[in-house]
A and B are shown apart, each in its own frame.
Chain A
Amino acid sequence: MLKTVKSIRDIIQQKFLVVPVLVLLTGAMWLMIMVGACTSEETVDPENKTPTPLAWRKPANFPDPVYDLNKNPLTVEGVELGKFLFYDGLLSRTNVIGCGTCHQQQSAFTHHGHELSHGVDDQLGKRNTPSIQNMAWNPLFFWDGGVRDMDFVPFNPIENPVEMGETVNHVLEKLRLTPDKSAKIPVDYPKMFKAAFGTPEITTERMMKAISQFMTTMVSAESRYDKFAIGDVTALSAQEKEGLILFRKNCSSCHEGELFTNYSFRNNGLAPLKYEDLGRFDVTRRESDRNLFKVPSLRNVSFTAPYMHDGRYKTLGEVLEHYTDKVVSSPTLDPAFIQSGGKTGLNLTDDEKESIIAFLRTLSDDNFIKNNAFSDPGIGNAF
């Protein structure tokens, strides 16, 4: 660069000595050329549009999100790329299993009918697929809280040998080699990365941020409960309101606030199965964390059966029955389930349980499970 400037100066100096007027002209010409050279990449080439910012609004009754959107501002192109990556089987070793294979929209992005989900080569995972919704409020991810930044979430399923069985490195290589003309829809990822981030470079950071952008848009806040919460007292029936009161009294110390979880880790007294899952202990290796699991949100809970970290209960009735009759004592059992007389579980009549279930169904958000913005663009595989 500096060398070029010197030669320009030489040229100008020569002219200066001969015809002063020419100096000005030449200088002005150079100026124009250089200004042009400087900006042409951004403005002249029609392929080089800057990504379109996407407005993101926090639902009125929600707290502030945890995810820092300033570090990853949403754009139309970024979210679109994230959606393709979310559904694309390329993220797995067998090129078949995408995120959307186990996180299916009609089940609020869980795997309906599967206690545990099947990954590559039909291998079974050890935990029930958690819902993907309202991710931007999540301070810790997965049943054991092993991840604390949304940008790091896809790493786990991709590199888990029984889920997608891939390496992030290899996924990046495969994405760089697209479009693959033999694919069902030959997606041109370098082009999509360019649209989303300005250049076609495909990196870990960009891939993860695009998926985070898509997941950030996956907000569920349009249930009947939400209408009630923002002031429409007619949105809930008398039984549902009764259920809400009982819920707040018995359940909301963990399923707290508008997200229906306080993101804490608890042992809710599930009877041990043949294979012990240590839960939070896997991450912290603290004895007090043995068999603790993250409190899940209850939004869309009527769509997300089966329930619990191991998917052992198929209906909400079974879940409520667990809390009244089946809570098993153990050294880490949450104190919320130990009554003053030493009995475990909650005291609820059958009518009360029914009211609570009626209330829980008001957390269903039909728009969330039908919104085309979150749907498979035609590249995914759902089993």
Chain B
Amino acid sequence: MKVRFSFIYIFLFTTLIFSSCGSDDAEPELNLNGRGDLVFYFDNTVGNELLALNNTTYKNSSGESFRVTGLSYYVSNFKLQRKDGGEYVIPQDSSYFLINAADKNSYEVRLENVPVGDYSGVSFVLGVDSARTVSSLEKRKGVLDIAAGQPGASMYSDANDGYTFLKLEGTSVSAASGKFEYQIKGFGGATARTVNNIKTINIPFTGTIASVTTTKSPEAHLLINILKIFDGSTRISIAGLPQAITPELTAPLASNYTTMFTLDHIHPTSSAH
């Protein structure tokens, strides 16, 4: 009995050391209460066509021809609506994503460790919330790194304008310079008040559900129609607004773009496209 006690003692002690030693490996929950992934795939479109950068000419509702040379936008602060009425909020630090039309890998937003269950909708912020925008460098990892973005295409501007929520750049004969550039931003300002262009997008999974299990990660396929940026509550023409990079100037674009997301379908399991 005494020996058995020593053995247990040693075993517990070794386990203790092991767990303290390995705490950096971050295995907080071993999916014991049933968790899985829910994936969103952001497919950028222009009207009914998939967006192709650089070489395809499109037309907006003002009848202006244009080509797109760059499109990137943040989606953050994901919340999932449960079919039974509850809500699951993705942990803040894992809830920032940057979609870049030039990088297919960025189209997939994988929400990890979501509790098993049936989900009936999603909401997210198009852009970056104000709290994170004024936070210190330690809170700006990954896509929030102020150096994030391709060379010359950084999404961070400065303390008062914060991050660009959505950047759309292209060419058009309707613009005097031949180019148009929209950097939709504005979180309310840090040192001086600006327009607040933070928009929350709500997408109900009408007529369908996303069932997360420990083995199946459903994938919701979203279509993002960038024509809506020109055509929502205010019709924007490239000739009239070839460049808008301040919160004030981009406010009508931000009002328009809340309508550009629609749910296309949900795969029961995530797979190739």
Residues of A within 8 A of B (CB): 1, 4-5, 8-9, 12, 16, 20, 23-24, 27-28, 30-31, 34-35, 37-38, 68, 71, 140, 145-149, 151-152, 155-156, 159, 167-170, 172, 203-205, 208-209, 283-286, 289
A residues in contact with B27, CB < 8 Å: 1
A4 touches B18 (CB 8 A): yes
CA distance A4 to B21 in the complex (A): 13
Contact residue among A5, A68, A203, A205 (Cβ-Cβ distance under 8 Å from B15): A5
B191 touches A140 (CB 8 A): yes
Q: Mark each residue of chain B from 43 to 56: 1 if its CB lies under 8 Å from any CB of chain A, else 0.
A: 00000000000000
B residues in contact with A71, CB < 8 Å: 136, 138
B191 touches A16 (CB 8 A): no
B residues in contact with A23, CB < 8 Å: 3, 6-7, 10
CA distance A264 to B81 in the complex (A): 47
CA distance A71 to B97 in the complex (A): 26
B residues in contact with A204, CB < 8 Å: 137, 140, 145-147
A204-B147, A283-B158 given; A8·B17 CB < 8 A: no
Say which size band chain B's interface belongs to: 35 or more
Contact residue among B7, B10, B147, B246 (Cβ-Cβ distance under 8 Å from A172): B147
The stretch of B71-79, B98-106, B148-156 in contact with A is B148-156
Using a CB-CB cutoff of 8 Å, which residues 1-34 of chain B contact chain A? 3-4, 6-7, 10-11, 13-15, 17-22, 25, 27
Residues of B within 8 A of A (CB): 3-4, 6-7, 10-11, 13-15, 17-22, 25, 27, 136-138, 140-141, 145-149, 151-152, 154, 156, 158-160, 189-192, 194, 246, 248
Residue among B145, B147, B148 with most chain A CB within 10 A: B147
B14 touches A31 (CB 8 A): yes
A34 touches B18 (CB 8 A): yes
A1-B22, A5-B15 given; A170·B151 CB < 8 A: yes
CA distance A146 to B18 in the complex (A): 48
CA distance A38 to B156 in the complex (A): 40
A38 touches B21 (CB 8 A): yes
A286 touches B192 (CB 8 A): yes
Nearest CB on A from B178, distance (A): 20
Nearest CB on B from A247, distance (A): 28
Nearest CB on A from B137, distance (A): 5
A148 touches B159 (CB 8 A): yes
Contact residue among B17, B21, B138 (Cβ-Cβ distance under 8 Å from A31): B17
A residues in contact with B156, CB < 8 Å: 155
CA distance A140 to B149 in the complex (A): 25
CA distance A205 to B147 in the complex (A): 10
A5 touches B7 (CB 8 A): no
CA distance A285 to B27 in the complex (A): 48
Contact residue among B3, B15, B21, B149 (Cβ-Cβ distance under 8 Å from A37): B21
20 A-B pairs (CB sep. < 8 Å): A12-B10, A24-B6, A27-B11, A27-B14, A31-B10, A34-B14, A35-B17, A38-B21, A146-B158, A147-B158, A148-B190, A152-B159, A155-B147, A167-B151, A169-B154, A204-B140, A208-B137, A209-B137, A284-B160, A286-B192
A residues in contact with B147, CB < 8 Å: 155, 167-169, 172, 204
Among all A-B residue pairs, the 7 with the closest Cβ atoms: A284-B192, A168-B147, A27-B10, A38-B21, A20-B3, A1-B22, A169-B147
Contact residue among B10, B21, B192 (Cβ-Cβ distance under 8 Å from A24): B10
Contact residue among A38, A172, A286 (Cβ-Cβ distance under 8 Å from B17): A38
Contact residue among A9, A205, A285 (Cβ-Cβ distance under 8 Å from B248): A285
A residues in contact with B160, CB < 8 Å: 146, 283-284
B residues in contact with A289, CB < 8 Å: 192
**Nearest CB to that of B11 among chain A residues?**
A9
B residues in contact with A146, CB < 8 Å: 158-160
B14 touches A5 (CB 8 A): yes
Nearest CB on B from A14, distance (A): 12
